[in-house]
């Protein structure tokens, strides 16, 4: 049985996808890649995949990232999935829209540090696993501050 945390990587750029996949797999994550919004929703709704976290680009073929995010937030089985946006869209209105849809962080590709993104994913998944009882600490408390909304985003 595979107990690796799963990341759904929704990114249409093959190069960035490959780099992120390699870095995340090196950190012991299982990575499922979707190249467009429809494929991502298919994994979540039709195939029943429940990732530990979703990395979501916004500019995607077929269904854009905001459409994917809106669909996720309207589904009671998916609405609580943590989502980190990675996008070239960096306008304040785009960031605010992401916050309103409950993303936990927003990375702009032009300023993207792959290492920082991977660390953010590790922190989020580790904190979630501790809270869910999958990982125990000495005193059964999380080792990091948990972000429960988008107000603490690193922008």
**Which mean pLDDT values do the consecutive 10-residue runs of the chain (155 residues) have?**
85 95 94 97 94 96 96 94 93 92 92 89 76 44 34 40
Q: For the whole prediction, is pTM greater than 0.75?
A: yes
- If DSSP codes are grouped into helix, strand and coil, which group holds residue 77? coil
- CA of residue 88 relative to chain centroid, distance: 16
- All structural domains of the chain, each given as residue ranges with its CATH number in brackets, are 6-152 (3.40.50.2300)
- Residue pair 33/56 in contact by the 8 Å Cβ criterion: no
């Amino acid at each position: 049985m595979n107990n690796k945390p799963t990341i759904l990587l929704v990114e249409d750029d093959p190069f960035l996808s490959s780099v992120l996949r390699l870095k995340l797999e090196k950190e012991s994550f299982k990575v499922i890649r979707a190249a467009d919004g429809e494929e991502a929703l298919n994994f979540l709704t039709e195939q029943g995949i429940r990732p530990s976290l979703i990395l979501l680009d916004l500019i995607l073929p077929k269904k854009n990232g905001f459409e994917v995010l809106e669909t996720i937030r309207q589904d009671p089985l998916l609405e609580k999935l943590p989502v980190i946006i990675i996008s070239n869209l960096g306008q304040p209105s785009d960031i605010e829209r992401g916050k309103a849809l409950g993303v936990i962080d927003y990375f702009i590709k032009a300023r993207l540090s792959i290492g920082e993104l991977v660390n953010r994913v590790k922190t989020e998944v580790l904190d979630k696993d501790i809270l869910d009882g999958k990982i125990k600490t000495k005193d059964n408390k999380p080792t990091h501050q948990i972000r429960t909304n988008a107000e603490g985003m690193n922008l």
